[in-house]
Structure 1
Amino acid sequence: MRFYSTNSPQSTVSIEQALFHSMPTDKGLYMPTPLPRLGAKFFNDIAGLSLADIGFALSQALFGDEIAKQDLEELTAQAFPFDTPVVELEPGRVGILELFHGPSLAFKDVGARYMAALMAHFSARNDKEINILVATSGDTGGAVAMGFHNVPGVRVSILYPSGRVSDLQEKQLTTLGGNVRAFEVDGSFDECQAIVKQAFVDVELNQALALSSANSINIFRLIPQGFYYVRAYGQVRHHGKPVVFSTPSGNFGNLSAGVMVQQMGLPISHFVAATNLNHVVPSYLASGNYEPGDSVATISNAMDVGSPSNFVRLLHLYGDDYSTVSQHVTGYFYTDDETRAGMVQIRDQHGYVACPHTAIGIMGINQYLADNQQDAVGIALATAHPAKFKPLVEDVLKQPVEVPDRLAVLADQPKKSTRIPAEYMAFRESFLQTV
């Protein structure tokens, strides 16, 4: 398998190059080639396979013999000691793919742990320390911090927008210490992401240090996120209906991962891109005009992205053709008031407590099924455990939310972060003092 830049499809790099040098020098994004096509038999026989089983099978299809079979088996078993179950709210009609059973209680555990295991596999071949840079709007940082904590040969720097992540999300970023450092940025997620992108095209910095990203800029964050779409399909295919996925979306890596496995043969009927007031992609799907802007702060903060970097991948996967994209993806967006009302309705109708991001995904699939009168199984991705947004969820639902032990232990830990303005040179200076 090779990887090419969306800006220069004619030139390709190796797995290791794409993994450790996350962004091509031409400022495009890496994509895999060739993308293998798996036959119907593979997807018809996956009902009993675990997430780790599916991760191994798809990794082997992608990488061939470039990574030894035994190493891949160990890598995927290490990355996925947890599952991603589908909970059916309305059997044969609406299900929720719970992606919060990993250590940080968010879907990004899947990508972060896979990347960490893959990097550990390759970095064992050399003694050079890798510096991971990551911007987070909430969940990415916690997953990366926990996934890479104490991984030999790796240092992690996490940039997050001050005051725009939940208290428990912030604790996950700022309490581990060791090889993990947090930068609290006086700005938005988009500004954090811009700083990280500028670091990757800083020639002097890259000559001095081995920089890599654990954001969805890195294709190896996206590839494993496709695994749970396959796992979900295996759990509902016995209904014998088309399957539609509703993905709560911010930077659009999660939805792009679903499209990749669709193009590998997974029979996904349709996608719903469900967002908050940062609705640049739903607006594009409705009008054909793409107009990114500044991010808007909402109660579903992990989706507060005004200029989603993975939009170029989503377009690229559908041939950079608006009509093709809009045939496969429908967009909906919801205000904070609509999200609160949706959380209450989901609890009252189904007894299910959803975080605001998950509620947006559920509202999206319900709206799509109602609008299209389609006899399909709709699956909404539950991207985070409601305890990660405990004060908000309790205020909206007027009931207590139990905090799992692995999150509760962080509550009394002291915060350790470096506060910086939303300026690249301020980050660069502070970052270089630690390496």
Structure 2
Amino acid sequence: MPITIPYRDASFFNRIADGSLADVAYEISRVYFGDTIPDEALVGLVQSAFPFDTPVHELDKAKKYVLELFHGPSLAFKDVGARYMAAFMSYFSQKLDREINILVATSGDTGGAVAMGFHNVEGVRVSILYPKNRVSDLQEKQLTTLGGNIQAFEVDGSFDDCQAIVKTAFLDSELNKIVSLSSANSINIFRLIPQSFYYIRAYGQLKQFGSPLVFSTPSGNFGNLSAGVLAQRMGLPVRKFIAATNLNNVVPNFLYSGIYEPKESVSTISNAMDVGNPSNFVRLCHLYGNDLDTIKQNIEGYFFTDEETEEAMQRIYQQYNYVACPHTAIGIRGLDNYLDKDTQVCGVALATAHPSKFKPLVESILGQPVDVPERLAHLANRTKQVIAIPADFQAFKESLLQTVS
């Protein structure tokens, strides 16, 4: 984390938020980096990272919106952080005389976004760990079929097991003497800072209504929500955040009881949120000074079963003719719960992935065909290339050293 969070007043956000996602990225990057990166280079980096935008989609004018974060190459919100990180790591790696090895654990979308963002980036190798049989078919294709500098590890365990292996790797002195390690998970601040950009971009699109903003964020490892809080701490006007989860509900339970009790993750239809011990919980608390009252004033938590998620997907389609993936549906349902008691706000639910990434599931729930964009459809017939390992750090370490030798 930065030693201090740079603060800017409302006039700053009113000025920059009307720009594109790349424009917002440039302004916030200047705040954090100062003159570390020459201005001309910085402009090029953010433009290469963000040839796409993050538009809001109206559900109920001036009342309820969906912030669509799936317009990047992997069709998921993780593209924003992964592409920014890839651009900047490529820039800095040119100044090094050694290869950077990026480790990333994924519950679904992170792996695909990182794989596509870093594919063929010179001076960088990527190792992606994902839980066996716990990601969708198209998610798996995204992270296992590119080859080159991208290596996928299929772990016989849960996402929490994958995450534990990655964390252990960073603490292993022998491994770190041999390879230069970095992370592309949201534990890396280089992922978190860019994810704050689209909260600011949403503010720019909705400030015309003059209502306080409430963001409902589908949450698993809580990097996405932490990024919104980071923007709020910088000065972005936000009334409230909603932590919307599936049955992996340790944070909503904490907000209710004040007691944080991690537990083993359970498998749900919103698989990218199946996290029983979110890494960013510590960071989230830190951003609010580890003060429970302040946390509860700013964040409200809701959680939903698979049945409630399916009901939300059906209702959203019937009411708004909008097809939502299960994660997005949880975000919208959490927002609806909040709007039942606070109607004087403009609510924004984050759409974290395109529904085609969960095509069989969405079609079975809605009874409607889901079109698959070409940039995803072309992966369907590719053969996956993986190294299968048990949920054991030593097994991963040995396999990793073989791939980099």
Same fold by TM-score greater than 0.5: yes
Q: Which of 286, 311, 316 lines up with 1:316 in the alignment?
A: 286
The one-letter code sitting in structure 1 at the alignment partner of 2:272 is A
Q: Which of 272, 276, 280 lines up with 2:242 in the alignment?
A: 272
Partners in 1 of 2:132 and 2:230 — Cα distance? 33
Q: Which of 67, 75, 88 lines up with 1:97 in the alignment?
A: 67
The answer to whether the 8 Å contact 2:17/2:24 transfers is no
Q: CA RMSD in A?
A: 0.7
Report the equivalent of 2:35.
Answer: 65
The answer on 1:239 being equivalent to 2:209 is yes
The one-letter code sitting in structure 2 at the alignment partner of 1:96 is V
The answer on 1:179 being equivalent to 2:132 is no
Report the equivalent of 2:369.
Answer: 400
The one-letter code sitting in structure 1 at the alignment partner of 2:378 is V
Partners in 2 of 1:304 and 1:137 — Cα distance? 7
The answer on 1:81 being equivalent to 2:51 is yes
Report the equivalent of 2:272.
Answer: 302
Report the equivalent of 1:383.
Answer: 352
1:374 to partner: Cα distance: 2.8
Partners in 2 of 1:368 and 1:339 — Cα distance? 16
The one-letter code sitting in structure 2 at the alignment partner of 1:141 is G
Query: Can you list the C-alpha shifts for 1:220-242, whole angstroms capped at 9, x where unaligned?
Result: 10000000000000000000100
Partners in 2 of 1:220 and 1:43 — Cα distance? 21
Partners in 2 of 1:319 and 1:161 — Cα distance? 34
The answer on 1:326 being equivalent to 2:301 is no
The answer on 1:214 being equivalent to 2:184 is yes
3-state SS in 2 of match to 1:33: coil
Partners in 2 of 1:47 and 1:337 — Cα distance? 38
Partners in 2 of 1:63 and 1:434 — Cα distance? 34
Partners in 1 of 2:119 and 2:2 — Cα distance? 28
Query: Can you list the C-alpha shifts for 1:112-161, whole angstroms capped at 9, x where unaligned?
Result: 00001110111111221000110000000000000000000000000000
The one-letter code sitting in structure 2 at the alignment partner of 1:211 is L
Report the equivalent of 1:337.
Answer: 307
The one-letter code sitting in structure 2 at the alignment partner of 1:147 is G
3-state SS in 2 of match to 1:245: strand
The answer on 1:250 being equivalent to 2:216 is no
The one-letter code sitting in structure 2 at the alignment partner of 1:90 is D
In structure 2, relative to structure 1, the CA distance for the partners of 1:360 and 1:191 (3 Å cut) is same
Report the equivalent of 1:428.
Answer: 397
3-state SS in 1 of match to 2:290: coil
3-state SS in 1 of match to 2:217: strand
Percent identical among aligned pairs is: 68
Q: Which of 403, 413, 416 lines up with 2:382 in the alignment?
A: 413
Q: Which of 38, 51, 54 lines up with 2:8 in the alignment?
A: 38
TM-score (norm 2): 0.99
Report the equivalent of 1:151.
Answer: 121
Query: Can you list the C-alpha shifts for 1:372-412, whole angstroms capped at 9, x where unaligned?
Result: 23311000000000000000000000010000000000000
In structure 2, relative to structure 1, the CA distance for the partners of 1:341 and 1:314 (3 Å cut) is same
Partners in 2 of 1:45 and 1:54 — Cα distance? 10
1:47 to partner: Cα distance: 4.9
The answer to whether the 8 Å contact 2:70/2:354 transfers is yes
1:42 to partner: Cα distance: 1.5
TM-score (norm 1): 0.92
Runs of 4+ in 1 over 6 A off after TM superposition: none
3-state SS in 1 of match to 2:269: coil
1:34 to partner: Cα distance: 2.6
3-state SS in 2 of match to 1:182: strand
Partners in 2 of 1:185 and 1:44 — Cα distance? 46
Structure 1 gap ranges (5+): 1-30
Partners in 2 of 1:297 and 1:40 — Cα distance? 42
Q: Which of 175, 200, 205 lines up with 2:175 in the alignment?
A: 205
The answer on 1:169 being equivalent to 2:126 is no
3-state SS in 1 of match to 2:176: helix
1:417 to partner: Cα distance: 0.6
The answer to whether the 8 Å contact 2:17/2:200 transfers is no
Q: How does 1:120-135 map to 2 (within 5 A)?
A: 120-135=90-105
1:62 to partner: Cα distance: 1.1
Partners in 1 of 2:18 and 2:262 — Cα distance? 42
The one-letter code sitting in structure 1 at the alignment partner of 2:383 is P
Structure 2 gap ranges (5+): none
The one-letter code sitting in structure 2 at the alignment partner of 1:388 is K
